[in-house]
Amino acid sequence: MAVLDILEFPDPRLRTVAKPVEVVDDALRSLIDNMIETMYAASGIGLAATQVNVHQRLLVLDTSEDRDTPMVFVNPVVTILDDTLGSYDEGCLSVPGFYEEVNRPQTVRVDAMGRDGEAFSMELDGLAAICLQHEIDHLDGKLFVDYISPLKRNRIRSKLEKAHRLRA
């Protein structure tokens, strides 16, 4: 397994809309394993393939207390089960060091395939539902900063661009 490079805002590749996964094979399972390792190495609770510059509809997440229960979602489709919005201070591995309040539905159903291509459906609520929606946004070319004011978004962009220049 390998830790993959995570793209950082404002990298334009983060705006790419991911294409459906056509086949679940050993190459995809290897990518899944690398994404899980990358998520844990970065102390994240979710990671979308878009964030590692692979533009397929694939994400992993682990919101378990012990961080030992990774979940895999291939071609996920979300259905909102309850319009009640919950507010959560979201952060993102692609927007390191910044957290902003985002409102999202608290209860969803997801239909997807797992790491071996088996179809499944499950209901998620609370943090897991929030995280899933956040990661699906990545697959659609959206970031959590799209939910905040342009002023805050531009401030974050400027700070990250400066940090990128200093690292280069």
Three-state SS sequence of 5-66: CCCCCCCHHHHCCCECCCCCCHHHHHHHHHHHHHHHHCCCCEEEHHHHCCCECEEEECCCCC
Question: CB–CB of 134/59 below 8 Å?
Answer: no
Q: Write down the catalytic residue from 37, 65, 135, 161.
A: 135
The residue among 132, 145, 140, 134 whose CA lies nearest residue 17 is: 140
What are the binding residues? 92, 134, 138
* Binding-site sequence positions for Fe cation: 92, 134, 138
Residue 143's contacts (CB-CB under 8 Å, 6 or more residues apart) are 9, 14, 92, 94, 95, 137
* Sign, CA torsion 163/14/88/151: positive
Residue 135: active-site member: yes
Residues with catalytic function? 135
